[in-house]
Amino acid sequence: MKKLLVFLIIRLFIRNTDESIKIYNALFSTPKDEPKKPSELITGTTKTRVVEIKKPSTKKEELMESLKYLKDKHSKTKQDKDSIGVLEAVLKNMD
């Protein structure tokens, strides 16, 4: 009840709600609300995976990889089927 009365008095003098909340929190902050010191922070270990990215050396290889990926998909959309046709046509014209 006392905290509510204090908050209402703060609101009486400070019209901005955000500012009055900041003042209220500054007056009635508890130890659990205060930020922890860096030594108290829990540090976890993270596992990192090394992923090797292989870049194709030529445009033809890049197109062939894209075509292989699209053909190996289990569920192909209409756009995938159209892309397969376009890639096959481009590869045919490159030879």
> Tell me: the pLDDT tens digits for 61-81?
889 989 999 999 999 999 999
- The predicted model scores a pTM of 0.43
The torsion of the CA quartet 77, 80, 81, 82, rounded to 10 degrees, works out to: 120
- pLDDT tens per residue, range 40-59: 555 566 667 776 777 767 88
Q: Is 6 exposed, middle or buried (0-12, 13-18, 19+ CB in 10 A)?
A: middle
